[in-house]
Amino acid sequence: MLDQVATSALSGKLVIDLTRVLGGPYCTQILGDHGAEIVKIEPPKGDETRDWGPPFHEEDSAYYIGVNRNKRSMGLDLTQGPGQQVLLQLLENADILIENFKPGTMEKWGLGYEEVLRARFPKLIHCRVSGFGGDGPMGGFPGYDAIIQAMAGWFSINGEKGSEPTRLGLAGVDMGTGLYSAIAILLALAEREHSGQGQYLDMTLYDCAVSLMHPHIPNYNYSGKIPGPTGNAHPNISPYDTFRTKTVDVFIGAGNDGAYAKMCRALGRAELIDDPRFIKNINRVEHRAELKVEIETSLMRIDGHEICETLAKAGLAVGPIHNTQQVVDHPHTHHRQMTIEKDWYKMTGTPIKMSRTPGSLKRLPPKYGEHSTELLTEFGFSSAQIKDLIDKGVVLTQRRR
């Protein structure tokens, strides 16, 4: 990941990134990791996640640092007419515009896709990320990760059986939307190769969260039963749960009858294979509590790390439960280059592994407005124009407090 890559998958693609917080920045970091030129346009007060700490590095939060590498930053006041004109000049050679303003904001500024951008920049791919979209019963309403988790059913199926509705401990809606948005952009780029035309991508947190409610929505659609939380157990598979051992809790997943039989033999419990309660997955799901007791009776006499190795070598999906420090320090994390370091920067690597055009770390996360002058120069603004824009507060090199 740290090696410089001369040609990456998205080399030569220019992305104008107006997004803030998480979903949009996560999307553009993925594109930047794989060679796209990302111009991060920040409002006068900056991306608010710069303040979402502690912890901080030189006044920027770890939260911001985590999703903003491989970008250059420009401060720009888009509420002013001259700022809108600057954006239009930046879009002259852009492939992608991505923003997460409240629906209607770009239109209010005279920058709407249908009204202005489509005709002026026919090859431009305009990706909008919003909470609910611009129309419909919830159209235009603000949406944040936890609110969408709650509304899309995630709270209702998370937690232990009988527990209160619980937020997922990851920003899965935001990051999932970032992933879906990256996919949508790549699809649009592929289609543009044939048509020569850009298009508008209407991405919402709500849609993405609903699409990720698997298997709960399919289960409801075909059973009529409203799913609830099952803790660490899977609603459709058994055994697929956490189990106590002599030393450490482990997770075992046996997704078919063959895997279940392997587990029983590895635990010295071959008699459980033909037990009428556990013969097929449907039987094991119906008697999951009894099966868990049988498995833990054996595991409680065994070292958890040793049995994980034994079961893994037998072909079982199994692993100990790690905390964040153990994940960061794990040898396999390092082997897969999922912890990367450069100077002060230490972060997760890219999970997208490509043989000829791997991702790379080209730029550390930018300070606010760090590249404002540099970028304006590259986009054809004269020294006098740049000075005038900065003097008038249209372009910024430092955050407005």
Q: Catalytic amino acids?
A: 174
Cα–Cα dist 152/157, whole Å: 10
Neighbours of 325 (CB within 10 A): 8
Task: Give every CB contact of residue 400 below 8 A, 6+ residues apart in sequence.
Answer: 44, 45, 393
Cα–Cα dist 202/185, whole Å: 11
Cα–Cα dist 152/210, whole Å: 5
Which amino acid is residue 178, in one-letter code?
G
Beta strand spans in 160-296 (E): 200-204, 240-243, 250-253
**Residue 54, SS3?**
coil
Residues 17-51, buried b or exposed e (16+ Cβ, 10 A)? bbbbbbbbbbbbbbbbbbbbbbbbbbbbebbebbe
Question: With contact defined as beta carbons under 8 Å apart, do 154 and 172 qualify?
Answer: yes
Cα–Cα dist 344/339, whole Å: 13
Handedness of CA 223, 229, 233, 234 (dihedral sign): positive
Residues 203-228, buried b or exposed e (16+ Cβ, 10 A)? bbbbbbbbebbeebeebeeeeeeebe
